[in-house]
Amino acid sequence: MSILVTGGAGFIGSNFVLDWLGQNKEAVINLDALTYAGNLQNLASLRNSPLHHFVQGDIGDGALVAALLEKHRPRAVVNFAAESHVDRSIVGPEAFIQTNIVGTFRLLEAVRAFWGGLTGSDRETFRFLHVSTDEVYGSLSESDPAFTELHRYEPNSPYSASKAASDHLVRSYHHTYGLPTLTTNCSNNYGPHHFPEKLIPLVIHNALSGKPLPIYGDGRNVRDWLYVTDHCSAIRAVLAGGRLGETYNVGGWNEMTNLEVVHTLCDILDEEQPKTDGTSYRAQITFVKDRPGHDRRYAIDATKIERELGWRPAETFTTGIRKTVRWYLQNPEWVRQVTSGSYREWTAQQYQS
């Protein structure tokens, strides 16, 4: 038995592959295009594992996906493959349309053809799990209730719009063709192997490098933070027991402003790796021009997944963020390898005062 994981060299995908193979002996076929955020170093511990089969390729390559499905005959497909950075989608939206919409369509077509040829228990137990985001729901005010699975889609960026489109495609393939699909919409993930263009790893890297810690606008934008291994356990739970055609919101029950997150990171770094001059990393905080269309607040109501599947996050933000900081402090070579010249140019372009 095996599963096919797409986007399994990225941040969440690689953590899922590591978590999956740490939990059981079922093989993983890992398909990843290795774009800028895909990194095989994330999977270095699996280099000699007979249960991990890596294939470099794109979900938009229908012939490749069909060949992998026919060769390995997985019992499930878990789709992480996506362009996922809002800032990049504002500067260059076309890549998001191609990967998140066209790519998902072609993946669905290949999976539908494969599933259509299955019989008996193989057909009955097959699953397609699509991993999405809370950003498809739009923005909340401070007093609005958290997003439930019934919240109307109101995406506000090219990224979230492309993910919303992919969610709709997955839903349509279930209702039109009967494809046994499941969808998860998660809140902001953090943890090991996070590419340092996102807030938490960027702040850690810049703090240790003596660089400014850029915060958009007034820093009061609110996000719900989910430790990545909690997300992995939620996906396992949905894959094992989720109702076909259903959506499950996955959140950490940890709403915090961006400024609170950065203050917390600075305070932990002050403890774990204090500066030689005795000053706080908070002194490096710099407020920069807000990005266009910046959603004010996201919040996930994860009641449904707890009620139906018994899942609840194991980490609080306090425990998860300290684990995250320590991982980055203990893995400076990983950070050095991913912070290339192109990364520095991107950061300089995006975070201008």
Which residue segment(s) compose the domain that 69 sits in? Answer: 2-190+227-253+298-317
pLDDT of residue 25: 93
Residue 47 lies in a domain: yes
Q: Which of 134, 230, 295, 315 is catalytic?
A: 134
- pLDDT above 90 covers what percent of the chain? 89
pLDDT of residue 36: 80
Q: Which residues contact 189 (CB under 8 A, 6 or more apart)?
A: 11, 12, 226, 227, 228, 231
- Closest among 226, 230, 222, 105 to 169, alpha carbons compared: 105
pLDDT tens for each residue of 231-275: 999 999 999 999 999 999 999 999 999 999 999 999 999 999 999
Report yes or no: 281 and 207 within 8 Å, Cβ to Cβ: yes
Residue 311 lies in a domain: yes
pLDDT tens for each residue of 131-152: 999 999 999 999 999 999 999 9
Active-site residue flag, 159? yes
Residue 31 lies in a domain: yes
pLDDT of residue 338: 85
Q: What is the C-alpha separation between 141 and 86, in angstroms, rounded?
A: 20
How many Cα atoms within 13 Å fall on the side-chain side of residue 279?
9
The structure tokens listed for 235 are: 């996906």
- Closest among 40, 66, 42 to 54, alpha carbons compared: 40
Report yes or no: 2 and 74 within 8 Å, Cβ to Cβ: yes
Question: For residue 294, is it left (φ>0), alpha (ψ between -120 and 50) or beta?
Answer: beta
- pLDDT above 70 covers what percent of the chain? 96
Indicate the pLDDT class of residue 219, thresholds 50, 70 and 90. Answer: very high
Q: What is the mean pLDDT of the chain?
A: 94
Helix (H, G, I), strand (E, B) or coil at 279: coil
Helix (H, G, I), strand (E, B) or coil at 169: helix
Active-site residue flag, 58? no
Helix (H, G, I), strand (E, B) or coil at 155: coil
Instruction: Specify the CATH number for the domain of residue 25.
Output: 3.40.50.720
CB atoms < 10 A from the CB of 193, how many? 24
Residue 109 lies in a domain: yes
Q: Which amino acid is at 323?
A: K
Q: Which of 32, 58, 83, 135 is catalytic?
A: 135
Q: Which of 159, 216, 281, 351 is catalytic?
A: 159
Q: Which pTM does this prediction carry?
A: 0.94
Stretch (H or E) spanning 56: strand 52-56
Give yes or no for residue 182 having a pLDDT over 90.
yes
Residue 278 lies in a domain: no
Residue 353 lies in a domain: no
Active-site residue flag, 153? no
Report yes or no: 10 and 41 within 8 Å, Cβ to Cβ: no
Residue 83 lies in a domain: yes
What is the total count of domains within the chain?
Answer: 1
**DSSP-H helix ranges across the chain:** 11-23, 62-72, 86-91, 94-96, 104-116, 120-125, 158-177, 199-208, 228-241, 258-272, 303-309, 317-330, 332-338, 341-350
Residue 207 lies in a domain: no
Q: What is the C-alpha separation between 144 and 141, in angstroms, rounded?
A: 5
Beta-bridged to residue 225, according to DSSP, are 188
